[in-house]
Amino acid sequence: MSPTPTVTIPRQRTAGPPPPPARARSPLIAWGLLVAGVAVLLLGYLRIARANTTNADGAANALQAADILHGNVFLSGWSLSDVSFFPTELLQYALIELVYGLNPDVVHVAAASTYVLLIVFAALAARGSATGAAAWGRSALVVAALLVPEPHAGWSIVLNTPDHTGTGVPLLVAALLIDHRGALRRWWPAAITALLVVAQMGDPLAMYIGALPLAVVSAFRIVRGGSASRMPDLHLLVAAVSSVAIAHAAVALIGRFGGYQVHPPIAEFTTWADVPDHLLMLARTTAVDWGAYFPFLGGDGPFVTALNYAAASVKLLLMAAALAALGVTVAGLLRRRLAEDRTAQWLAAAITVNLAAFVASTQAADMASARQVVAVLPFGAVLAGRVFGDRLGALLRRPPRGMPVRAVAGALAAVLLAAFAVQAAIAKPAPPEAAEAAAWLEAHDLHYGVGAYWASHTVTVATGGRVRVAPIVDQVPRAFHWESRAEWFDPRRHDARFVIVDRELEHYGTLSGVVIRLGPPVQQVDLHRWTILVYDHNVLYHLPRHQRP
């Protein structure tokens, strides 16, 4: 009898947990890529921002933030400019100084982070309630429009001291909230009002590019729209109108109870004869803001120049898309197509008011006045995204047969990314204004004095407050109560033993004017643009006060 064959049963391995499905991992991957992309943008813009010289305006903001951190929350005794940046950029500066200390790089970190926030919230505002390919198409247009600033000239507008660029951040957050009314429910009008108030307290321009256009569009929709749209528009109208009153009252109360005071606005209406020149200046400055002004693109070698021209050509197309989106949106509003995008209609009205105010005012003086219409860049990018982004997303997802849509889009994106990378790579850090004067004063143990405005705050910040300089103005100088504290000029509290003279800008004091006012110095040192006059007496006793606003 044959033996029974042995059957070996293989051991079964214990099954581990199933791998997570690809769909579950994709959101994490997407979020990781977004965070990494934001970090790259921040580092790149920080390198570019450092190529801007820290000047007295940004240094004054840094000093105000330091005062806030030391308990002077409402900046008692300060006379600010016609734009306070309180509580917007000043609180941002304070947060940066809380971990970074008082130094010139605070201005650059703030500029870079502000611009990144502008891109992020512009992309979110353009996305709105869209999903899928439409959402990506909208956001892609915004990022493309804002990614590459105009080399050098544009850097000084969008990546420099606070000067209207950051005003777009709270307004874009408000635009984002308009699309998410259901998430906030009863707090929705209050949130919109608060954002408009904050923006207007920090920058009066926000009334003209934020509250006023929102009120006009909402009122227009209420009058000509159906009953279904009236309640949200009524809430927005009340929010816009009340925000103006609250912002003005808040600033007045701060000044009334000992806080900061602001100078009256310096803008005035221009004459009809200047309007043609202002229209030409508007075209040039808007192109600078968009990074599409070709006369400013050369100077960094043939390869960089060619790349800048290629990127500017793409930006010019995007600017044209924003202009077309503006026309489409305004036409839709006038044709009573009120069920359409109220956020786009608000931004279109804001752009229109901003451009018209620029042409009608005396602010259209030179290319530096591009800062007055810088909001047109993020607002126009959002408008282009909301009008054309859905179509772009659909084309990229399912391109028509025979049309290389993805290849063209990829090539354009590569040009912009390469231009951004090259700009960040070639940007070289610039020293603060009057850095040589700061170094000489600190080396010679001179710790308090007065000086021309553009040397004053920069010397103070460059030395971390070890050398303090109060600003002066006029050829025969006197105390300058502009971005300064009254107690800086009190001879009972400070012993000022030097004067810094700006030989290029005589409006802030001349050598002969200083001698007329303060007498001959015991020492004179010439440092290129700056001359330092050293005295053996406290010059504050002989310096007339400049009236506060």
**pLDDT, tens digit, for every residue of 329-338?**
998 888 766 5
- H or E segment to which residue 498 belongs: strand 498-502
Report pLDDT for 271.
Answer: 87
Residue 150 lies in a domain: yes
Q: Tell me whether residue 227 is in a domain.
A: no
Same structural domain for residues 408 and 447? no
**Which tokens is 72 given?**
């002077």
pLDDT value, residue 332: 85
Beta-carbon contacts of residue 213 (< 8 Å; ≥ 6 apart):
346, 347, 349, 350, 352, 353
pLDDT of 7: 47
| 377 shares its domain with 460 | no
Task: Indicate if 440 and 532 belong to the same structural domain.
Answer: yes
| Confidence (pLDDT) at 219 | 92
Give me the pLDDT at residue 50, please.
Answer: 97
Q: Which of 426, 458, 489 is where one domain is finished?
A: 426
Give the H/E segment covering residue 46: helix 22-49
Q: Is residue 18 part of a domain?
A: no
Tell me, yes or no, whether 413 and 450 share the same domain.
no
Give yes or no: residues 76 and 95 share one domain.
yes
Distance CA 138, CA 321 (A): 12
d(CA 252, CA 169): 24
Q: Are 449 and 420 found together in one domain?
A: no
292 shares a domain with 374: yes
* 377 & 457 share domain: no
Model pLDDT, residue 353: 96
CB-based contact 346:240 (threshold 8 Å): no
Domain range for 308: 40-178+269-426
Which residue from 72, 64, 171 is spatially nearest to 107, judged by alpha carbons?
Answer: 64
Question: What is the count of structural domains for the chain?
Answer: 2
Asked whether residue 191 is domain-assigned, the answer is no
Looking at the fold, whether 396 and 527 belong to one and the same domain comes out as no
Same domain assignment for residues 346 and 313: yes
One domain for residues 422 and 439: no
Same domain, 353 and 492: no
Residue ending a domain, among 426, 447, 482, is 426
> Which positions of the chain have pLDDT values less than 70?
1-26, 182-183, 226-229, 336-340, 546-549
